[in-house]
Chains A and B, each alone.
Chain A
Amino acid sequence: MKKIFTLLLILMLGVLAACGGDDTSNDDTGGSDSDNGTDSGETSDGVQSVTAWAWDPNFNIRALELANQAYDGDSEMYVEIIENAQDDIIQRLNAGLSSGTTQGMPNIVLIEDYRAQSFLQSYPDAFYPLTDYINPDDFAQYKVEATSFDGDIYGLPFDTGVSGLYVRTDYLEEAGYTVEDLSDITWKEYIEIGKEVKAATGKDMITLDPNDFGMVRMMLQSAGEWYFEEDGNTPALADNPALEEIFVLYKEMMDADIVKLNSDWSQFVSAFNSGDVATVPTGNWITPSVKAEASQSGNWAVLPLPRLEVDGAVNTSNLGGSSWYVLNQDGKELAAEFLANTFGSNEQFYTDLVTEIGALGTYIPGTQGEAFEQEDPFFGGQAIIQDFATWSEQIPPVNYGMHTYAVDDILKVEMQNYLNGADVGDVLDNAQSQAETQLR
């Protein structure tokens, strides 16, 4: 009897082991992207390939495709591009890196700057430093700050989130304003103009999603401040004059009844496509969405962002933006070489990025040339790319730190409390103590 039991047990273990073994070969059952699970590979004709994950087929994936064409380095290689939603990339990276396996991981991955420090510090040695491949001085300073950790630069800075104030010139005219009246103003003046615009045209000045703190982050960076001290870890929410001013301004906007609320991206886009709001302060990546409504051509202009009144605040900021990272596994040298050859040094490539997909990079030598002086009839002949490029040089660098999104969620709650009548100092003190207990 015992023998048979033993035999059965062994059989079962064998079956289980076989299942385990199958896992690896079945790894790439991801439909069309059959090379999902491979690291660097080599095809029969000796051309090497690395894999890359990105999320936007109209933007960063297109940029990778262009990079494939532009690559002219020594090794015969190309990048296999795999499209994943950004949330999926974050999940799969976290799952893969925390289990310590590189199986199924890409060689190159795009990570949002706000999350970069969190990945770099959570998974030490998982990423490959690019310090030897690129010259940090070639890139916008605030991007280098966001992609560096412990003296090394890990990310190759990609797109800029340089922000501006998109305005409807026809609505402003109706309310008796010119674009000059809104250039280089403070948020206080912005709200006053907003009230006039609402009175004259009935249109709201701005659209906001109470559950998306992008606006707050953008205003905060314009003052060279962030949720944390310089170290990126100590919360700086209480006694942060910039943050306090933002809270007060946010409430003033709400109280002035110049805000059209939205609750997700598509409602946000439809708010200005339908002509319901007069201005949109946000990152330059919104340009294609604004231009999507062709009937409004000629009625838009882009102005510098309004500024805060605290010391050091400027009329420019950043919202979003991401960078390329190389995972520390087989094929890393090849992947790094590819990035350095294209995104890291090729000026012509950056010109193509602008002309073909309107993507504004952060590689300084690549932000000049004819492509940038192009006048855009949609924006009344304004050379908006040139303007954005100029503003992006003045973006104050800040350390985004480890916990941007966690603090976002804490502040959202406190903002509701403040809007419901609590004292601004109290809610920020509250947020500070919550952040201190939670972020350890």
Chain B
Amino acid sequence: MKQLTNKNNIGWLFVLISVVAITLFYFYPMFDAFLLSFQSGMGANLEYVGLNNWSRLLNDPTLRQALINTMTYLIIQVPLMIVLALFFSVILNDPDLKFRGFFRTAIFLPAVTSLVAYSVIFKYMFSIDGIVNQLLLNLNFISEPIAFISDPFWAKVVIILAITWRWTGYNMIFYLSALQNIDRSIYEAARIDGANSFQQFIQITIPMLKPIILFTTITSTIGTLQLFDEVVNITSGGPGIQTISISQYIYDLSFKYTPNFGYAATVSYVIVILVVILSIIQFKVAGEKE
């Protein structure tokens, strides 16, 4: 009985439950998917093919395009969104601002809309006779409507705009809560030393927010790598495969084409590998000591 009440052992018991659950529902499927990535075949006719799937990855033009697209979204969209979110949060943190609650809600609101619903609305806003084209035509910026959805360049722009609209408010909330934890006296001291607002922002706010910036960058990066709903609903990957994302390609391989679950599992491991690599880079760049 004495042993039972041993704090350490009771602690392990509590941990055990989640360890077993995580092993069963996370690690086992991951391991199984890894085995699956060495098999190939149509539907239920899977057989081991060794490294064939992995070598097929190297000469797969669709995967290459999906990677290029995802990287394009990543490089343009994530910094854009982080900077915007920082900008909004600093403005909204100003105690002298009127209607702060209203603006906060307004900017956060997109984050609670359904992914599919907002994607469909964006698609219609940017269609040939959609509201955006009408507006540009009426303002005489363009002489004939732009085919946003069927043009490789503009389609990417629409996707980036859509994701930025949806997720900026979400990231802003993290910054807002972190800003509220920064001691006011630091700013006061800076002001006494003669620092202007911009210097305060660069020298105090950014360094104080660094862990949060790192966190939001990593979650946004992972989110972008898993991008699916927006692309499928706005452009369905088109024109051609000019906007396809890796997740959509996995879906296509499993459900749109004759199913090849083996190769689809291999492609999904590409995302895993990318997430690991990018996260390591971000930690290094941000200079975390641990």
B128 is an interface residue with CB less than 8 A from chain A: yes
Given A413-B240, A416-B239, do A12 and B150 touch, yes or no (CB 8 Å)?
no
Q: Which of A119-127, A217-225, A349-357 contacts B (4 or more CB under 8 A)?
A: A119-127
Q: Which of A54-62, A64-72, A89-97, A386-394 contacts B (4 or more CB under 8 A)?
A: A89-97
A94 with B4: CB separation less than 8 A: no
A412 with B240: CB separation less than 8 A: yes
A residues near B43, Cβ cutoff 8 Å? 94, 97-98, 118-119, 121-123
A403 is an interface residue with CB less than 8 A from chain B: yes
A residues near B3, Cβ cutoff 8 Å? 1
Q: How far is the CA of A122 from the CA of B254 in the complex (A)?
A: 12
Encoded as 1 (CB less than 8 Å from any B CB) or 0, chain A from 422 to 435 comes to 00000000000010
A412 with B238: CB separation less than 8 A: yes
A295 is an interface residue with CB less than 8 A from chain B: no
A94 with B259: CB separation less than 8 A: yes
B residues near A126, Cβ cutoff 8 Å? 44
Question: Which of the residues A12, A263, A403, A405 comes within 8 Å of B149, measured between beta carbons?
Answer: A263
A263 with B150: CB separation less than 8 A: yes
Q: How far is the CA of A95 from the CA of B62 in the complex (A)?
A: 24
Q: Is the interface of B mostly helix, strand, loop or mixed?
A: loop
Q: How far is the CA of A405 from the CA of B252 in the complex (A)?
A: 9
Q: How far is the CA of A20 from the CA of B142 in the complex (A)?
A: 61
Question: Which of the residues A16, A90, A260 comes within 8 Å of B255, measured between beta carbons?
Answer: A90
A437 is an interface residue with CB less than 8 A from chain B: yes
Q: How many residues of A contact B (CB 8 A)?
A: 41
Given A100-B44, A261-B147, A267-B127, do A437 and B56 touch, yes or no (CB 8 Å)?
yes
Q: Which of B11-28 contact A (CB under 8 A)?
A: 13, 16-17, 20, 24
Q: How far is the CA of A397 from the CA of B138 in the complex (A)?
A: 51
Most A C-beta atoms less than 10 A away, residue of B17, B65, B152, B241: B241
B61 is an interface residue with CB less than 8 A from chain A: yes
Question: Which of the residues A94, A263, A403, A415 comes within 8 Å of B127, measured between beta carbons?
Answer: A263
A396 is an interface residue with CB less than 8 A from chain B: no
A residues near B128, Cβ cutoff 8 Å? 260-263, 267
Most B C-beta atoms less than 10 A away, residue of A16, A97, A263, A413: A263
B72 is an interface residue with CB less than 8 A from chain A: no
Encoded as 1 (CB less than 8 Å from any A CB) or 0, chain B from 1 to 45 comes to 001100001000100110010001000000000000000101111
A118 with B4: CB separation less than 8 A: no
B123 is an interface residue with CB less than 8 A from chain A: yes
A98 with B147: CB separation less than 8 A: no
Most A C-beta atoms less than 10 A away, residue of B43, B61, B255: B43
Q: How far is the CA of A97 from the CA of B46 in the complex (A)?
A: 13
A91 with B255: CB separation less than 8 A: yes
A94 with B255: CB separation less than 8 A: yes
B61 with A263: CB separation less than 8 A: no
CB distance from B253 to the nearest CB of A (A): 9
Q: How far is the CA of A1 from the CA of B237 in the complex (A)?
A: 58
A406 is an interface residue with CB less than 8 A from chain B: yes
Closest chain A residue, CB of each to CB of B13: A8
Encoded as 1 (CB less than 8 Å from any B CB) or 0, chain A from 344 to 370 comes to 000000000000000000000000000
A98 with B44: CB separation less than 8 A: yes
A26 is an interface residue with CB less than 8 A from chain B: no
B residues near A16, Cβ cutoff 8 Å? 24
Q: How far is the CA of A118 from the CA of B235 in the complex (A)?
A: 26
Most A C-beta atoms less than 10 A away, residue of B4, B24, B42: B42
Q: Which of B213-265 contact A (CB under 8 A)?
A: 235-242, 252, 254-259, 261
B241 with A412: CB separation less than 8 A: yes
A437 with B20: CB separation less than 8 A: no
B residues near A405, Cβ cutoff 8 Å? 256-257
B59 is an interface residue with CB less than 8 A from chain A: yes
A122 with B240: CB separation less than 8 A: no
Q: How far is the CA of A124 from the CA of B41 in the complex (A)?
A: 13
B42 with A122: CB separation less than 8 A: yes
B60 is an interface residue with CB less than 8 A from chain A: yes
Knowing that A123-B44, A261-B128 touch, tell me 8 more A-B residue pairs with CB under 8 angstroms.
Answer: A8-B16, A12-B20, A90-B255, A263-B149, A413-B61, A415-B240, A416-B242, A437-B56
**30 A-B contacts, Cβ less than 8 Å apart?**
A12-B20, A16-B24, A94-B254, A94-B255, A98-B43, A98-B44, A98-B259, A118-B43, A118-B257, A118-B258, A121-B42, A122-B258, A124-B44, A124-B45, A210-B150, A211-B237, A211-B238, A263-B149, A263-B235, A402-B258, A405-B257, A406-B258, A409-B62, A409-B241, A412-B241, A413-B65, A413-B241, A416-B239, A416-B242, A438-B60
Q: Which 9 A-B pairs have the closest CB atoms?
A: A122-B43, A211-B238, A413-B240, A118-B258, A406-B257, A122-B42, A263-B149, A1-B3, A412-B240
